[in-house]
Structure 1
Amino acid sequence: MSNRSGQQPFRTADAGGAPAVTAPDGAEVRPLLVVDGQGSLAVFVLAPGQVTHAVSHATVQELWHVTSGSGELWRRQGEREETVRLVPGTAASIPLGTSFQFRADEDSDGPLRITAVTMPPWPGTDSEARPEEGPWKPTLR
């Protein structure tokens, strides 16, 4: 919410202290910040060997940046499909309507951690994440 001058408030969050919730794909997510009407920031965490459910988003798109761990991201848009490696420093986009699934390597030194910006902000509705068919069998509920 903006103040009288139209400016948005400053916000600060601690990723380590943010409460964890379960994303629709089964990943652990720690919501951090929201800029009203523009975007939201969160950290996704997958333990070594975990595989999410494949989903697509109805109204949002995302930008990801891997901060630790390793794994793979599968994305499909119509006839276009690819699987990319996720390692620290990798950045990836999840355009609106893209089917995607990700997994953490079993032999990773620690969890796969991804900082993600969602635009517009995550709406929190059950219909946002739509189930899709992905390449891997999910290990999460």
Structure 2
Amino acid sequence: MRTRYTDIPAYDTKDGSEIRELMHPDSHGNAAQSLAEAVVEPGATTHLHRHAKTEELYHITRGRGEMRLGEETFEVTVGDTVCIHPGTPHNIRNIGAEPLHILCSCSPPYSHDDTELL
């Protein structure tokens, strides 16, 4: 199974980032996880939120951000990967001059219903 970036439309998700579902069971036939690219524009911050069931991995591919993970806040940049355990409040702010690009892997797959805004 394969997808092409240019064939996948972007949409705004509940946390306020622009998302492109690179592979998701609802659209592509895989089973146990999803992979998306999130883009956060310069100066923008995603909404603080958490997922009851989903574990997420964020991998920064472009730009610079400030990640809030539970009670901790730290800078992230290209090559950094962050594990977000279920139930952990989190968000990210773009602190750079270019769009912040994040690969987001979710298991189980991302679901709007599992996203609680805080």
**The two structures share one fold, judged by TM-score above 0.5:** yes
Per-residue CA deviation, residues 45-65 of structure 1 (Å, 9 max, x unaligned), is 011000111000122110111
Structure 1 residue aligned with 2:117: 131
Tell me the matched-pair count: 114
Which consecutive residues of structure 1, in runs of 5 or more, have no partner in the other structure?
1-9, 133-141
Distance 1:124 1:52, change over 3 A: closer
Per-residue CA deviation, residues 18-71 of structure 1 (Å, 9 max, x unaligned), is 211111111100001136331000000011000111000122110111000111
Structure 1 residue aligned with 2:37: 43
- TM norm structure 2: 0.88
Mapped to 1, the partners of 2:48 and 2:105 lie a distance apart of: 19
Matched-pair contact (CA < 8 Å) for 1:15–1:43? no
- TM norm structure 1: 0.75
Matched-pair contact (CA < 8 Å) for 1:69–1:111? yes
Mapped to 1, the partners of 2:111 and 2:13 lie a distance apart of: 12
Structure 2 residue aligned with 1:72: 66
Greater helix content = 2
Larger Rg: 1
Give the percent of matched residue pairs that are identical in Structure 1 and Structure 2: 32
